[in-house]
Chains A and B, each alone.
Chain A
Amino acid sequence: MTDSSIPTFGSSQHLDDEWVYGQLCRQFTLSGEGSPHRFLKRYFGECSSSLEAQMRVVIESECFGSRKMVAETATFQSYFQHFVHEEGVRWRTATPDLYTVGRCYNEKGTVARGRPAVDGLRDCAECTKEQFTTQGIITWTRAHNLPGVRACWRHATKLRARFDFDQLPLPDPTSTQTSEAATEIELWFANVSRETLHDDSGSRRYARVLRRSVESYRWTAQLIAKGIVASYPPAILFPMDLTPRSLTAGYRSMLSKNRSIGDTRLLILLGHCEDRTSQLINGERFSEASWGAWRKAALAEGATPPRLDAWVEADRLEPFQPSLT
């Protein structure tokens, strides 16, 4: 802080899985300052509207604890460490900004456009209500704000998003709207992302997948598309225009729409589908048991759930049941 005589408001109290940005927002609320700009200027000597710059100053001020402690417990460092530090990867070297804001870089190593990680500030309405009821404090949690995560891993509902990050808002605990159920793939992805965040085993399995896959995602897409086509008789696929060409195009489209999250999303996905990928590469047909994972993969590739459901019905397969553990 710029003025050592400024007392703590008490917001340095660390909450479970709280993002450092959440701590900043709570601090702002307790300060009573009407303007985030004035608040940042006054307490941190920083008036930049860039979230990265703000976070940098806040962490360097050590008002929420030592830099190391904050980086480990209140940023996305432990998540990204699974993907970086590997030579030969065409990702930019990890930076504090990457850790604190959760913004990803695309495969070309350039920073993605958009504000913080194009998905905005995300919270689960149910979690927020729960926080309010049990603790009286609401904040932003890391698990909800990981790149590409759009579902709550606990409540299996879609996350809410807002983009006014420069206003240092806190989630709204009063919403009476019923939360929409998340899709299986969203839920699965949220779970895997959270596990990755809390996985401090030092595993590099995501990094291995990264090295192999980022370079060749288009090739992988083609393989996936070919695999799907090979698994289903033309009578089902062709009326829906599901050809290797159209599937690959859809895959690319998905990546270009989510440039900031595409890589990470894909990497985790592929990390879990590693076996399936090798099956594809070997030109194996899908077994019934591998259907669930493939369904997720296909959904992630842009195939719509109704289409997949139609396939499930046609083949009398059991719908995929995601595991919350």
Chain B
Amino acid sequence: MMYQTENVAKLHRGNPLIEALPAPILDRIELAKSLSRGPRTTLKTLMEDPPKLRVHNLVALKTLFLAKPECLDIAEAMDLALREFYVPKNPMSPEGQAYRYGLAANGGSEPQEFADTELGCMFVVGESGMGKTTTIRIALQRYPQVIRHSAYMEIELPITQVVWLSVEAPTGGSTVTLQHSILEALDKALGLTGTKYAHAPKSTKSLERDKLTSLVVQLLRTYAVGLIHIDDVQSFCGSTAGKKALRRFLVRLTNLVQVPIILAGTPESLDFFAGSFEVARRACSLGAFELERPEGPEDPIFDALVKYLFTFHLVETPLTVDAHTLRVLYELSKGVTSVLRTLHVEAQKIALRAAKAGPAKLELRHYKEAHELLLTLHGQLDELDGTATKLGSKRRK
């Protein structure tokens, strides 16, 4: 196990849980590069195939991702929270060991208590397709998920550190199912094939529920879990009971385990915070971030997004980005990142098929045709018309 010796903050030195992590990326441009995703195979290689075969290579463009400034903010906040929350858990200190054994509540230093109105959480909100999940998962993947320590500074340290877990909020908003999802994610991270943690009984009786929570809490301590990402928290907002249960669970988890939790959801999940982004901002002690939809075709973010996408194409004659193109593309995609990417891939498919054996030329009409194919999205996209892109001021009804 290699531990970082450079670019380690003074407060983090001597903490194997932090020193085992990759050094933080201090430069925003470098961070943007590390978060953005292009195709894994070079375009030149993919272009060598004839157009009909090249259609199959377009799948390589489906992973394209441009890290917007908000994505960088999220990644930075996650990195800070991860390291900050590892500080008191240093296994080389008595406090860190006491934390592992769940002794802090009984003796020694008391865990930091979060007020009921405050959650040890980070909240990421944005329309579906704006890249919430992708941003968070790419940011998480910068860290190894499991680190197995054996010795640190010649001192025996047999600890398995699980840096992050990512789970989806269960449909129906049951905290019991959510806890099972956490156990399943832990099983998967640790590569458990036989006796799994997720085999804990799925009972809804309060006694069993408490036991399950105790199991989850202790395992998060035992494996020094650094971050938990809960995706699609809007699943909990269908019922008042679901919201309350999740809130209670999160408060308990953040108080007992002191692990930062990243909640991500669509604007509907704001119901969890009384329907207000401002309340969410205040309630989430680690920050609230909004992945905004570009306000219009003139939005510089939209412009950058389109230009970035257009650098990756498998046609001989690409489309030129101008004001008209931007306007059309915005109308078709409503600024939703994933829709824009899908249109870009599908349009090339159409262009390549039309080209037959000759050189393929990408035209704006191909994007319109691709849009026609996305029938199921039309209604959803139309709903976005006329709604504010900033959740701080207004929510989509």
Contact = CB atoms under 8 A, between A and B. Distances in A.
Contact of B222 (A32, A137, A138): A32
Contacts of A42: 195
B101 A26 contact: yes
Given A132-B103, A132-B108, A137-B97, A30 B195 contact: no
Given A3-B195, A31-B218, A32-B222, A132 B100 contact: no
Given A12-B158, A173-B103, A32 B219 contact: yes
Contact of A136 (B97, B214, B216): B97
A8 B195 contact: no
Contacts of B216: 32
B46 to A, nearest CB: 39
A136 B96 contact: yes
Contacts of B93: 136
A41 to B, nearest CB: 10
Nearest to B201: A38
B194 A5 contact: yes
A31 B222 contact: yes
A290 interface: no
B102 A29 contact: yes
B211 interface: yes
Contacts, number: 93
Interface string A25-38: 01001111110000
B184 interface: no
Contacts of B158: 8, 10-13
B106 A173 contact: yes
A29 B102 CA distance: 8
Interface in B145-189: 148, 156-160
B194 A10 contact: no
- Of the candidates B194, B214, B216, the one having the most CB atoms from chain A within 10 angstroms of its own CB is B194
Contacts of B97: 135-137
Nearest to A30: B222
A170 B214 contact: no
A285 B338 CA distance: 101
A287 to B, nearest CB: 50
B215 interface: yes
Contact of B160 (A2, A8, A32, A174): A8
B217 interface: yes
Nearest to A4: B194
Given A30-B101, A134-B94, A13 B157 contact: yes
A133 B94 contact: yes
A289 interface: no
B309 interface: no
Contacts of A138: 101, 103
B101 A10 contact: no
B106 A174 contact: yes
A135 B94 contact: yes
Interface of A: 2-14, 26, 29-34, 42-43, 132-138, 170, 172-174
6 contacts: A31-B219, A32-B215, A32-B222, A132-B107, A136-B95, A136-B96
Shortest beta-carbon contacts, A-B, top 10: A32-B218, A136-B97, A136-B94, A136-B98, A3-B194, A174-B107, A10-B159, A3-B195, A32-B215, A34-B211
